[in-house]
Structure 1
Amino acid sequence: MPPLAFLPLGAAFVVFGLLSACAVGLVARCALRWSSPGQQLPSTALRAAVVFTPAVLGALGCAALALPNPFVGCHCAEHGLHHPHLCALHLAFALPLVTPSACLLGAWLAVTAPGVLRLLHDTVASTRWTRAVRRLPIVALDGVAVRLADCGAPSAFTIGALWPIVVVDRVLWRSLTDEERRAVAHHEQAHVERRDGLTLLALRLCVALFPSPAGQRLIQAWRAAAEQSCDRYAAGKLGDPAAVAAALVAVEKIRAQGSQGAALPAHAMGALAGGDLSRRVLALLGADPSRQGAEPPLANDVLATAIVAAGTLLLTFVWPGDEFHHAIETLIGHLIH
């Protein structure tokens, strides 16, 4: 069977993904609002799942087309040849769709190539930066390995997708008190344990492959929730949310007085509060007193989404199964005849 016979399935993946991206983007553009100051933001896993929706639905739709309910008889034999068949078991029946599928995939690659290349460039630059910083001496604080670097601006961040490290600017580190250093270190350690660098890379890749009207805003919304989650983790480690809030204010004051010329690597997860300072401080000060000293569970959002997607994929093989598969094929048949 020629490899070109797989092109229609690839085109189906792209179509499902792009339609989902448009739907998610339009809904997010209308409904995505910053919550009121001090309010706890939705879980990072939920916000990440929204960004991953186009890729997940594209994969689920493509799988449902390729393997229509594998627990029953041959779908192609049951429904005949009155419409095209996108079944992985009988790819020859999809050959009439190869040409339009190739045109669609070519257009999609042309549109998404600049974003993917930009992401690749940022990834290579961040990897080189991480390798250079990894050779710096380690300062241990409360069991957290911190590397002090001359960043050119007062900054603290976590970088690295698979093996993240905590980096703090030397000027910032010398300007903080011991309690503030502990707050910053534990905040960044939360990013390390959550593997937020890996999640950010996956989110940017999804937005590059399936552009939507609100893709970047959705990523920023996830980052805001991730920062707040790491604030709560640091508060649990210190046993005092007010101490973490004070550290955020101290870091922001030092940042405002320092140099603004140096930019952080694209995939760095930073502890700088910036314009979201008031929200994060009020969220910490308004935390439930009964939960003070308790550290929230940390988990990787990519892994959480993948587990849910895998369970949903198994479900598509059973329901809606043949019905969904046959409906899409019938629609394609009406469009090309």
Structure 2
Amino acid sequence: MIAALAFLLECAAVAAAVGVLASLLVAGVFLLPWGVPRSRPALRAEGAFVLGTLPAVVALAVVAAAAAPSLSAVLGWSRDHCGSHGHHLHLCILHSSGLRPVLAVVGALSLAVFSFRAGGLVWRVMRTRSRLAALEALGSWRPGLFPVVAVPGAPRLCHAAGVLHRRILISASLEGALAPLELRGALAHEEAHLRRRDPLAALLLSFAGLLVPPPLARVFLSAYQTAAEEACDAEAVLAVGDGTVVAGALVKMASLQRRASSVAGVPAFGQVALEQRVRQLLDAEVRPAVPSRALLFATGVGAGVLCVALLHAAVLHHAVETALHFFS
């Protein structure tokens, strides 16, 4: 029992330490010039998503690789290797070195903070789903590639929603608040979010942020959302052929949505980086849309990091044990 508890707390401490270190390195990259022109926001969004999820991927890969020899021995897949290095702490569920006070405190705090943040995130996701269901029950559905749900009354909604069942929620009253071309631009913007699967990306970034210090998690999510909004603005310009029309719709919607909140992880049209986006729309040329490959890239990077970690599991296992022994 003590060995299992020590193993759990040590793994939690390792995940927290690696997540913090990796996120600090990634934050340093965010402060550097991107090297991607501001006219290519889709590429910036992809980079922000990959970098934002990287600390969690690295933390999980290191913990998996460090724990693999011990778990493999428990399952009978490999021999018990602990007898070959008795000179330092064992990260092992079979041969614990006992609960070290420093590791026990760090691991326990890490688990408590992670559980609290994870519970809060799951609660927010469930609350959002409940609100969406309530709004959709009041609205009328309009068929299309991405169905549009026209919700009567306030608030002034214009949201892309749905991870699997993608749709757009919009207040029916917006048809009177926006000119027809402006409304078309707003809907094209939300359709772009759904084609890019931004609700799913935002959700994954939020879960990846559980292994990152909260201030940095917000920075990573904000960087992705800002770039994604600009990418969707560019697609809206392609749909209406005039950036000033989309800029005008943004300003109107920002005034109407001052108290609106994000739905399903995607901010309302006009909520994020308004001044920056309006300036970009007025200055930028109409360019072909670039499909989002952020999820594909991140999956490839994650799989690559995990494979490398597992291929060098023995080395990582020994390095983690040595570091734990030194710092505990």
Pairwise same-fold verdict (TM > 0.5):
yes
**Who is 2:46 aligned against?**
45
Q: Deviation at 1:224? A: 1.1
Matched residue type, 1:11: A
- Kindly indicate whether the alpha-carbon contact (under 8 Å) linking 1:248 and 1:272 is maintained by their aligned counterparts in 2: no
Deviation by residue 1:218-241 (Cα, 9 ceiling, x = unmatched):
2111001111222333445x3x54
Per-residue CA shift, 1:145-203, capped at 9, x if unaligned?
A: 21112463444111233433201122222333443333322221222233222221222
Contact 1:162/1:195 (<8 A) preserved:
no
In structure 2, stretches of 5+ residues that fail to align are 73-77
Match of 2:285 in 1: 286
Q: Distance in 1 between matches of 2:58 and 2:292?
A: 26
Q: Secondary structure at the match of 1:269?
A: coil
Which range moves more in the overlay, 130-139 or 47-56?
130-139
2:301 — aligned with what? 308
Could you tell me which residue of structure 2 aligns to residue 139 of structure 1?
Answer: 142
Residues 243-254 of structure 1 aligned to structure 2 (within 5 Å): 245-254=243-252
Structure 1 residues 317, 217: CA separation in 2 closer, same or farther (over 3 Å shift)? closer
Measured in 2, the distance between the counterparts of 1:282 and 1:214 equals: 31
**2:75 — aligned with what?**
none
CA distance in 2, matches of 1:101, 1:335: 9
Pick aligned residue for 1:298 from 285, 292, 295: 292
Partner residue in 2 for 1:231: 233
* Counterpart check, 1:152 vs 2:154: yes
CA drift at 1:55: 0.9
Deviation at 1:117, TM superposition (A): 4.1
3-state SS of paired residue (1:317): helix
After the TM superposition, which residues 83-162 of structure 1 pair with which residues of structure 2 at under 5 Å, given as runs? 83-86=88-91, 91-97=93-99, 100-112=102-114, 115-135=117-137, 136-140=139-143, 143-150=145-152, 152-162=154-164
Unmatched 5+ stretches in structure 1: none
Q: Is the 8 A contact 1:176 1:250 kept in 2?
A: no
- Provide the C-alpha distance between the structure 2 equivalents of 1:253 and 1:327, rounded to a whole number of angstroms: 54
CA, structure 1 residues 317+27, in 2 after alignment: closer, same or farther (shift >3 Å)?
A: same
* Deviation sequence 1:233-277 (CA, Å, 0-9, x none): 3445x3x542xx234223234235546344444723332262333
Residue 330 of structure 1 corresponds to which residue in structure 2?
322
Q: Structure 1 pair 241/84, CA: closer, same or farther in 2 (3 Å)?
A: farther
Cα distance in structure 2, aligned partners of 1:110 and 1:331: 23
**SS in structure 2 of the partner of residue 167 of structure 1:** strand
Match of 2:68 in 1: 67
Q: Tell whether 2:23 aligns with 1:21.
A: yes
- How many residues are paired up? 317
- Given that 2:140 and 2:151 are in contact with CA atoms closer than 8 Å, whether structure 1 keeps it comes out as no
User: What residue number does 2:216 align with?
Assistant: 214
Q: Secondary structure at the match of 1:286?
A: coil
Conservation of the 8 A alpha-carbon contact between 2:6 and 2:98: no
2:86 maps to which of 81, 86, 91: 81
Q: In structure 1, what is the equivalent of residue 311 of structure 2?
A: 318
What RMSD, in angstroms, separates the aligned Cα atoms of the two structures?
Answer: 3.5
Q: Structure 1 266/114 Cα, relative in aligned 2: closer, same or farther at 3 Å?
A: farther
Once residues 139 and 177 of structure 1 are traced to their aligned partners in structure 2, the CA distance between those partners, rounded to angstroms, is 19
Q: CA deviation at 1:314?
A: 1.2
Separation of aligned partners in 2, 1:256 and 1:298: 26
**Cα contact 1:5–1:94 (8 A) shared by 2:** yes
Do 1:51 and 1:206's aligned partners in 2 also have CA atoms closer than 8 Å? yes
The alignment partner of 1:43 has SS state of helix
1:132 to partner: Cα distance: 1.8
Once the two structures are TM-superposed, the CA of residue 110 in structure 1 deviates from its matched residue by 3.8
1:155–1:270: 8 Å Cα contact kept in structure 2?
A: yes
Query: Does structure 1 conserve the Cα–Cα contact (< 8 Å) formed by 2:46 and 2:292?
Result: no
For residues 247 and 220 of structure 2, the distance between their equivalents in structure 1, rounded to whole angstroms, comes to: 26
Q: TM-score, normalised by structure 2?
A: 0.80
Residues in 2 aligned to 1:305 and 1:181: alpha-carbon distance in whole angstroms: 33
Mean CA deviation greater in 78-87 or 198-207: 78-87
Structure 1 pair 208–152 and aligned structure 2 pair: CA distance change class (3 A): farther
Aligned-pair identity (%): 23
- 1:124 is matched by which residue type in structure 2? M
